[in-house]
Amino acid sequence: MTATDPLSDIIIDVAHLNFYYGNSQALFDLNLTFPRRQVTALIGPSGCGKSTFLRCLNRMNDLVDVARMEGSIRLDGTEINSGELDVIELRRRVGMVFQKSNPFPKSIYENVIYGLRIAGINDKHVLDETVERSLRGAALWDEVKDRLHESALGMSGGQMQRLCIARAIAVNPEVILMDEPCSALDPKSTARVEDLIKELRDQFTIIIVTHNMQQAARVSDYTAFLFEGLLIEFDKTSKLFVKPRHQQTEDYITGRFG
């Protein structure tokens, strides 16, 4: 592996990850590393564990009573499930954008700086700067700069999803997890979010769950294919979609099941 190979610069290292909901095992011995400042897509048929895996990466599964995880997930070398990293700091460093946009019933401005307010930051200069930087980063600034203090709930669905991306980047995360971020959007808004993902990759590591294989092929640098809780194949997207190593991957990407 050469020094310029992205796989030589790893931000998240997953080893022997098993995950259970009560007695039912959802993930089986996953071993995978996520390269820094690259987009990795998680694909696979419904129920294969994509969302469960994504939610392990910032401990969102802690909210599920019956959930239990074994194995190791290291963020830049620090075990995320040990006492070394508290969950609030983890979620600042590993942000999340959900399938359905979830703006708060507040102004556009207050939505963006929500994480800063929680952290006790009230300096107007810092907040104004963060709002502009984040909205520009989310390709939304020009559309909303004249109505920052109006309710976010008056925005279109595509704008709301980009607002949620702005809210995620406002706290300077290192990783952004996206769980089917375009599934509720029309084709035009989807194209805007996909363009945005490609732009954000210069600054952030992005891990995206998608059902849409064309989308995975368009936006990601790497792809992981999961099937029934197992990682079947992980490779460069350009390779996995053209010359998969496993029959199951080929069957899935050619639409034979799923």
Residue numbers of the site for ligand ATP (CB under 6 A)?
21, 26, 44, 46-52, 64, 211
CB of 121 to ligand ATP, least distance (A): 34
Residue with tokens 């104004």: 128
Coil vs helix vs strand at 125: helix
CB of 52 to ligand ATP, least distance (A): 3
CB of 123 to ligand ATP, least distance (A): 40
Judge contact between 48 and 32, C-beta under 8 A. no
Cβ nearer to ligand ATP, comparing 52 with 190: 52
Residue with tokens 């029309």: 186
Cβ burial 172-210 (10 Å sphere, 16+ → b, else e): ebbbbbbbbbbebbeeebbebbbebbeebbeebbbbbbb
Cβ nearer to ligand ATP, comparing 2 with 46: 46
DSSP label at residue 62 = G
Cβ nearer to ligand ATP, comparing 170 with 224: 224
**E strands present in 100-204:** 175-179
Cβ nearer to ligand ATP, comparing 3 with 63: 63
Backbone angles phi, psi at 182, to 5 degrees: -110, 5
CB of 108 to ligand ATP, least distance (A): 29
Cβ nearer to ligand ATP, comparing 97 with 113: 97
CA distance 254 to 246: 12
Report the Cα–Cα distance between both ends of the chain, in Å, rounded: 34
Cβ nearer to ligand ATP, comparing 137 with 229: 229
CB of 218 to ligand ATP, least distance (A): 19
CB of 184 to ligand ATP, least distance (A): 13
